[in-house]
Structure 1
């Protein structure tokens, strides 16, 4: 393993060779494909599909992973660190009658949720509230939870009242993002709007920034922010999940039970997305460990999501160093 944890904060050392001790056992044939996005849906079995090409295929995930390995070659042997803070710009797209006009207070709460989640604090809070009587999954999450080192700061908010943009964001997304986006590769742009009943949010990947910088960012349904009225998904962890993609993570169920899974060593294999808050779920019984139901990169209800692992933290740091570091607005640590 080339990653390590230092005082609870995930850091990484760029690999000394092109071989890396993550899950890369089987090679997936390369094929040209369009930039992808990953999304979060309210009902994994409900037929809702993410925009911009759909969920990542195994070959698309392999392409992204290969791009990461190639970029890390020039950083070989360096001590890789997350930035001290990531500037966050939120673009609130609302209806002209005020629907979806998320308050400044809720926006700040969303950033607070990100900081708690990425510091490992969510799992610690869940363990404290359980008072030693938590489920096996909650106890395991508390042990696995890592401080990824990433911290976020709300630096600007834009507000646009436009009925067409609000209710048909996907149809106008390229125009909206190109017009509103601020900053560079190290600036997290979040867009809120009405995404319909099934889609909670979606995100671009860091590998796609160079070719499409004005489309980079995270899109979330406005009612998923803290205090929203989206049942089971109103604690802000849709944004937590999508920022994970923005920092390079795949779903925990990427590639199912098949090697290399989600390309992270310390997240168990999972055949398909979790729904609700299942306990003792093990969809890959021939692989070690029960399903990572409480991991932020699953599809579980917000109340069940508690942590990132050290391996996920390391992978995010690697993506930051490879594709987002050097940004004039991202304050390096």
Structure 2
């Protein structure tokens, strides 16, 4: 297996923004800590990914361009400095369960989830050129447990309160919350751009049954967390902006018109663009077993977001 480790990236200047993005007025999210909700259970191919508020949770082209502008501004202070992923990202997992014990995932499954994260971000699930080692590693530092029926069954309605009470650490600490998110939502995440305005809301939320060994069919290997942590580190979906430039702002992920369900290997929804759809990419909507890798470009983008928004300042 060959792997590409992304370390020691030199930031000579802010990354270029395609002309289409530069010409678009920046539109800030209505709520700075608006969660990016994604991935249903895939029971209906092409089914919509609905957030708890009833909108689809996707970023508009204007919102994505605004995120890019914020990244450029954040990296402006890092010109000429060598940047690299952290040796280890501290992780705090908050297990929210029902009072009858439903959802009280054990320590072993939590540790298995952290192992899945480490394997995914080191390129273990792919081979050859696709086996990209992003350089990111994750270390479980604490597991907290909270038994509350309202919090467990209605997490989305109480999420601001829950996260404000339970959140630990600074921008460099990954807070993961597990609960019952209902049948249509697998997880949601904040972006690095949100952390300054709403630090107590920063983190990733996943349905408890998506952890390794869970009961969510096709989504029981732990890659819902892999996917949401990708957002937490700044990545868009591979199908961001569809077939239109600048896509997901990553040069080595082929354009994709819409999310993929199942594992439609060989699908090509942007025939005027090079490459088949990146259905095996962790930032798609395919089944866990279909997901295998990030690209070097995605690894670089995650490092840029870490340097711009999450790296502790000395």
Q: TM-score range by the shorter chain?
A: over 0.9
Equivalent pair of 2:94/2:144 in contact (CA under 8 Å):
yes
Query: What's 1:26 paired with?
Result: 20
Q: Which runs of 5+ in 1 are unaligned?
A: 1-6, 125-141, 329-333
Question: Distance in 1 between the 2:150 and 2:191 partners?
Answer: 26
Asked if 1:146 is matched to 2:126, the reply is: no
Asked if 1:183 is matched to 2:169, the reply is: yes
Question: Distance in 2 between the 1:81 and 1:108 partners?
Answer: 25
Question: Distance in 1 between the 2:121 and 2:313 partners?
Answer: 20
Equivalent pair of 1:37/1:51 in contact (CA under 8 Å):
no
Report how far residue 48 of structure 1 moved.
Answer: 3.5
Question: Distance in 1 between the 2:85 and 2:242 partners?
Answer: 29
Report how far residue 18 of structure 1 moved.
Answer: 4.0
Question: Distance in 1 between the 2:235 and 2:100 partners?
Answer: 37
Equivalent pair of 2:126/2:293 in contact (CA under 8 Å):
yes
Query: What's 2:85 paired with?
Result: 82
Question: Distance in 2 between the 1:92 and 1:167 partners?
Answer: 13
Asked if 1:265 is matched to 2:245, the reply is: no
Secondary structure class of the residue paired with 1:26: helix
Report how far residue 327 of structure 1 moved.
Answer: 6.1
| Change beyond 3 A, Cα 1:166–1:321 | same
Query: What's 1:293 paired with?
Result: 279
Report the TM-score, using the length of structure 1 for normalisation. 0.87
Equivalent pair of 2:92/2:168 in contact (CA under 8 Å):
yes
Query: What's 1:55 paired with?
Result: 58
* Deviates most, 253-262 or 33-42: 33-42
Moved over 4 A (4+): none
Asked if 1:323 is matched to 2:309, the reply is: yes
Q: Where do residues 1-333 of structure 1 align in structure 2 (5 Å cutoff)?
A: 8-11=4-7, 13-18=9-14, 20=16, 24-27=18-21, 28-34=24-30, 35=32, 36-38=34-36, 39-43=38-42, 45-51=46-52, 54-124=57-127, 142-326=128-312
Secondary structure class of the residue paired with 2:126: helix
Report how far residue 172 of structure 1 moved.
Answer: 0.3
Question: Distance in 1 between the 2:268 and 2:25 partners?
Answer: 29
Report how far residue 41 of structure 1 moved.
Answer: 2.3
Equivalent pair of 1:268/1:291 in contact (CA under 8 Å):
yes
Report the TM-score, using the length of structure 2 for normalisation. 0.93
Report how far residue 51 of structure 1 moved.
Answer: 4.4
Equivalent pair of 1:12/1:317 in contact (CA under 8 Å):
no
